[in-house]
Chain A
Amino acid sequence: GAGVSQSPSNKVTEKGKDVELRCDPISGHTALYWYRQRLGQGLEFLIYFQGNSAPDKSGLPSDRFSAERTGESVSTLTIQRTQQEDSAVYLCASSPRGQGLTYEQYFGPGTRLTVT
């Protein structure tokens, strides 16, 4: 079946511009996560959606970052007034939370964002 997809795969933008990144989770997965991975570093949690519950936004680094998800479908991560330090790979993952703690996360290929 189809995995998690993300678009665009690469995005180059000028400092100060807004960007929107998209994630299509696996159908039926209720949980969706966004992470940031800077070059040579680990995964930095950004935001978590679980069904219709209020999202956990505790990882968003500033108010320039926001994300939305409609129900259990597509999610968009928006970065306003991009800065060079926003350059990173943005990863989306989904999981079937209904299986309890044993569920794994299924990752998309990521969007590589470069801010010039």
Chain B
Amino acid sequence: GNSVTQMEGPVTLSEEAFLTINCTYTATGYPSLFWYVQYPGEGLQLLLKATKADDKGSNKGFEATYRKETTSFHLEKGSVQVSDSAVYFCALSTTSGTYKYIFGTGTRLKVLA
């Protein structure tokens, strides 16, 4: 079946460090891939998305590239800020079944000043 696996947290970084949060998926067909972010005390919101192989989603300095050959969608940011502290969720949606989303378990990021 379809699934999403992301690296366990928490991830603790110093400000201006480079961030990578790994995400790999298993899916039939050609899913769309998403990263959602949940800031402390807030609801989930879409961070970026990619809908086909080799697409790169980007937003707020974050990037992720849809790699079909490695079934991955790793999230990266070159220089994190304290305000990036949040929980990040990788997700996919697929044409198989009923279009429901599959979410990863989330990775908590803490950025220290």
Q: Please list the residues of chain A having a beta carbon within 8 angstroms of any beta carbon in chain B.
A: 31, 33, 35, 41-43, 45, 48, 50, 56, 91, 93, 97, 101-105, 107-110
Cα of A97 to Cα of B99 in the assembled complex, Å = 9
The number of residues on chain B lying at the interface, defined by a beta carbon within 8 Å of a beta carbon of chain A, is 25
CB of B28 within 8 Å of the partner chain: no
Most buried by B among A42, A56, A91, A108: A42
Shortest Cβ distance from A30 into chain B, in angstroms? Answer: 11
Cα of A104 to Cα of B101 in the assembled complex, Å = 10
Q: Please list the residues of chain B having a beta carbon within 8 angstroms of any beta carbon in chain A.
A: 31-32, 34, 36, 42-46, 49, 51, 89, 93-95, 97-106
Q: Contact between A108 and B103 (Cβ–Cβ < 8 Å)?
A: no
Cα of A48 to Cα of B46 in the assembled complex, Å = 19
Instruction: Give the chain A neighbours of B105 by CB distance below 8 A.
Output: 41-42
Instruction: Give the chain B neighbours of A109 by CB distance below 8 A.
Output: 42-43
Given known A42-B105, A43-B89, contact A104–B49 (CB-CB < 8 A): yes
Partner of A45, one of B31, B46, B95, B100: B100
Shortest Cβ distance from B10 into chain A, in angstroms? Answer: 10
24 contacts between A and B (CB under 8 A): A31-B99, A33-B101, A35-B103, A41-B105, A42-B103, A42-B104, A42-B106, A45-B100, A48-B98, A48-B99, A48-B100, A56-B97, A56-B100, A101-B31, A101-B32, A101-B94, A101-B95, A102-B32, A102-B51, A104-B46, A104-B49, A105-B36, A105-B46, A107-B36
